[in-house]
Every structure is written in C-alpha cells, then in structure tokens.
Chain A
Amino acid sequence: MEETVKLKKAKKTRVIPGFKLTMGITVTMLSLIVLIPLASVMVYSLKLPPSEFIKLITKQNVVYAFTTSIVCSFIAAVINVIFGVILAWTLVKYDFPGKRILDGFIELPFALPTAVAGITLSKMYSDTGILGKPLAAIGIKVSYTHLGIIVALIFIGIPFVVRNVQPVLEKLDGQYEEAAYILGASPSKTFFKVILPELRPAILTGFGLAFARGIGEYGSVIYISGNSAKEHTQVVSYVIMQKLSYIDYASATAIALVMLVISFLLLFAINVIQMKQAKRTNNI
C-alpha cells in the first residue's frame, strides 16, 4: 500500500524539464488560433433568440442542404468502406507488380488541393468529359446531380478508410484464419465471421472520418454539384458561403453551429471507438 502511494508520488514529480513552458505555449496558441475564433461563432449564434434560430435553420433550402450533405456523405462513406477494405486487403495480402505505385496513389486526395480536385472531377464527368460522355450516352448524368456529389465525396474519403484498415490488417495474425479454415469454415465465412469483426473498429473509424469530412466538404464538391436550389444539389458548406456573400451573418452562424455540433458528435464517437479499441488490444 505504502509502496503504491510512493510510486504515485514519484510519478507526480516531473523529472523532464519544460512542462510549464510547453504547456503554456500549447494552450495559448490553441486558444488564440482555434478556440477563440470558434467560440465567436458559438457566442454570436447563441445570441439569436431561439425562435429566430429555429426559423433560420428550418428554412426549406437549409433543410434540403443538410439532407443532401448528410445523405450523400453517408452513401459515399459506405461505398468507401467497401472499396477501402478491398484496397487495404489487396495491398496487405497480395504481391503484384505496381503495388507500391497503387499504394502511393491512395494518398492523392490528401495531397491534391480540394479546388483542383473539384474542377477536375467536374470536367471529367460533364457531358463532354472523358468519363461523362460515355456515361451520358447510356443515360447516366453525373456532373450537376447528386451522383456527382457522391463521386466527389468518394474521391476525398477513400484514403481515410484504407489508411485506417491497412495497419490493423497488417498486424492481424494469420492463425485465426488458419484455425477457421481447419475447423471447416468457408473462405467467405472466415472473412465475415473471423476477420471482419477484428477490423470493425478500424472500419468504423475510417467510416466516421470519411463521413465527417464529407459533411463539411466544400472545394471538391461545389463545382460538380451544380448548386441548384431547385434540384437540391446545394451542400451545407455552399449555403454557408452563400449566406456570407449576402452578408447574412445570422443565418451563416446558425447553420454553422448546427454543423459544428454534428462534427463534434462524430469526433466524439470516433474517439470512443478508438479508446475501446485501445483497451481491447491492451487486454490481449
């Protein structure tokens, strides 16, 4: 008992110098650059009377924008989970020529500026574009539709899933697979019953990150979406920007507050998943 108390005390005294200095710098910079500006948005939007606030965020085009952003991001994130797991699996389990290049390309959406990605995708999938033309010929319009938004969100979201699943798959012990096979499970059963549960936290994290990024995405979406109020192809970020350029700060901050709440909830969920995962791996 005494021993543990002593140990605890020993832990409390900090041997390494620089705690106060680095702590001070970190907290000051974090407050000045991130927290205070964000607080300004919250303070301003909470100053609105509640009835006004509700009125602003339940305007029809705002509701449509939220629906579009959330539904499109969700669909894109689901598609990214499917392809992301396949890509991670291929990159970890198989050897083939050009694998390193394939691996390198995964990160392209992180490195490419969003505006550049946006104009490029918009051009590629327009009726005269390299992919849009053949698709238009069989009756599928991509640019300036919801499909276009989903395509752009798949583009920016894919690295999140691949890069979260890949390391877990690399560490995954082959024993379970072998055991399942020897016990008579079919390969697909092995995958769905043995491997997939192991990957679930990583997949959920990747899904959450891609989903969160998709809801707030601006640059890569606004060119391909067409931003038509009539066809409900405006995303939330676009509506905020539109309100800003009309100097309608009340609406802009009200919408922004709702979006902040959504992203904080998602961030919180992701953190909980990651903490659970850390606990689980530590227990083993």
Chain B
Amino acid sequence: MADDKNRMGKVMNEQEKFEKRKKITKYVLITISVLFVFFMLVMPLFCIVSSSLKQGLGFYFKSVSSKYVVSALKVTLFATVIAVVINTFFGLCAAWVTTKFSFKGKQVLATLIDIPFSISPVIVGLAFLMTFGRLGWFYPVIRWFNSVFGANVRIAFAIPGVVLATIFVTFPFVSREIIPVLNAQGKDEEEAAALMGAGGFKIFFKITFPQIKWALIYGIILCTSRALGEFGAVNALSKTRGETFTLPLEIDALYMSGTENSITAAFAASSILVIIAVVVLVLRNILEYRAKKKGQEQAAS
C-alpha cells in the first residue's frame, strides 16, 4: 500500500514536472515567435510609415502627388489591370483542364505553369528583351509590321514590355489558388450535369463557379498585389522615367538619388504600395477565416 502510494506520488511529481516543463517551453516558444515577427516583420512596416512622414504631412502629400509618381502609378495600375484580367482568364482555363480531365503529361503541364514562381524576375526581363529587343528573333517581325503599316510599335523599353513582364510574373497566381479547391471537390457533379445535358458554360456558372468563388477572389487579390509590386522584371524592360516607369521603379529612382528629400519621397511613394499590401493581408485573413468557418459548419452538419 505504502509502496503504491509512494509510486503514485512519484508519478504525480513527474507529471507535474512534465507539465511545468511543457509550460516553460510554451512561453519560450511564444516569446521567440513574437520577437522574431516583431523585429523581422512589424518593425520594417513601422519604419516605412515613420520614414515617409519624417518631413511632415505637407511634404508627404507633395511627394505622393508629384508628376513622376502620378505617371508611375498610372502605368502600374494599367499593367496590373491587364495582368489580372488575362491571368484570371488563363487561371480558370488551366484549372478546368487540369482538374476536370485526365490526360498524359498533366503533371508536366502543372509544373510548366508554376515556372514563373521559381524564376528570378531579372531573368524574366532578360527573356523579353531577348525576344522583342534588337537581338530578339521577334524584332524583325515588329520592324516589318512598323514599315508596312507605318506604325511605331515597340515592346521592349515601352509599355507593352512592362505589361508582358507583369503578366509573366503573376501568371500562376489565380490557377494555383483554384486548382486545390477543384481537386478536393472532384468532378462528379459536373459529370452528372453534363450527362443530363447541360452545356459547358452552364456547368461552369451553375456548379463550378460557386465552389471556387472565394479561392478565385483570393487568387485575384494575390495577383493584384504581386503585379503592383513587381520590380526586377520591369526594371530590365523600362528605362524612361515619367513614361514607362512603374511605381516600384519610381521608388528605386527616388531612393537612388540619395538626397534626404528624395529618400523621404521614396518612402512616401512606398506607403501607397504598403497600404495596398496591408489591405491584402487583412482581406486574406478574412477570406481564410470564412473558409475555415464554413469548413467547420460542414463538418458539424
């Protein structure tokens, strides 16, 4: 009896010790996480805000509304809208073909679509330069077109180049968000609808679209935010400040001027993109929360 009690006590003691250690681990890990996020992620955000307002609100608004910044913002928005529209269309097609059908080389196709994720943006710029620039194989075609139609079409170092580079770097964003959702959903419903005689568009809008709505919106948001901020690829293809510069390039030009005023102006221009980034983050969290809640409700019922 006494022995038993002793052992029980020992076990209890060990249990307590274990719980205590677990608690200590918990607080240590939380502290490390909070410190890491604070120093690596929160602080930069804070630094942008404080740097952009360093010379007062008046200077801030003057820098944000300068001729170059406004022109850069226009180019950025133009390229972004086109990139988002094209990539949404592509994303829907690519998701449809890779999830609703089985065919040879599906894995290869999926890998090829993901290529833009793993390629340095600078190489993207180079690729378009080697295609449409003076040395590119497409250059004679442009020249021929221009001489025949008396037009002055340019792609490299002009707006079309900027747009193409933006499309490239955001290419897989929409499809990548939709594909997992469609894979999880399977294709039974679509097959049933098709057997009952529904057409392709009807199936898509009545069955598929409601399932992927949120994933699609999230994909579009991601695509937008990446398109707005693209720097490396565009940098190789755009050389004229005030004409073909996007906002990140304008920020680069301001920062590289090196004077205190221009650096503050660079941060002011950055703040436009930071506000968008923060909105994206908040939206992302809301959408994810909704999806989780919906999943729980489904699990409960």
Name A's B-contacting residues (CB within 8 A): 11, 14-19, 21-23, 25-27, 29-30, 33-38, 40-41, 43-44, 83, 86-87, 89-91, 93-94, 96, 98, 100, 102-117, 119-121, 123-124, 129-131, 154-155, 158, 181, 187, 209, 212-213, 215-219, 223, 236-237, 240-241, 244, 249, 252-253, 256, 259-260, 263-264, 266-267, 271
Contacts and interface: CB of A to CB of B under 8 A. Distances in A.
A249 B204 CA distance: 46
Given A25-B93, A41-B130, A218-B121, A105 B42 contact: yes
A33 B168 contact: yes
A113 B47 contact: no
Interface of B: 18, 21-22, 25-26, 29-30, 32-34, 36-37, 39-45, 47-48, 51, 86, 89-90, 93-94, 96-97, 100-103, 109, 111-116, 118-131, 135-137, 164, 167-168, 171, 187, 190-191, 194-195, 199-200, 203-204, 222, 225-226, 228-232, 235-236, 248-249, 251-252, 255, 263, 266-267, 270, 273-274, 277-278, 280-282, 284-285
Nearest to A116: B270
Contacts of A236: 120
Given A30-B94, A107-B284, A155-B44, 17 more contacts: A34-B112, A34-B115, A40-B127, A40-B131, A41-B130, A86-B29, A104-B284, A105-B42, A112-B229, A115-B229, A115-B248, A115-B270, A123-B51, A155-B40, A240-B126, A244-B126, A256-B126
Contact of B33 (A26, A91, A249): A91
B231 A113 contact: yes
24 contacts: A15-B195, A16-B190, A17-B199, A17-B203, A18-B100, A18-B204, A26-B109, A44-B130, A83-B36, A94-B29, A104-B282, A105-B281, A106-B37, A110-B226, A111-B280, A115-B248, A116-B229, A119-B252, A123-B263, A212-B118, A217-B120, A218-B122, A240-B123, A260-B123
Majority secondary structure of chain B interface residues (helix, strand, loop or mixed): helix
Contacts of B204: 18
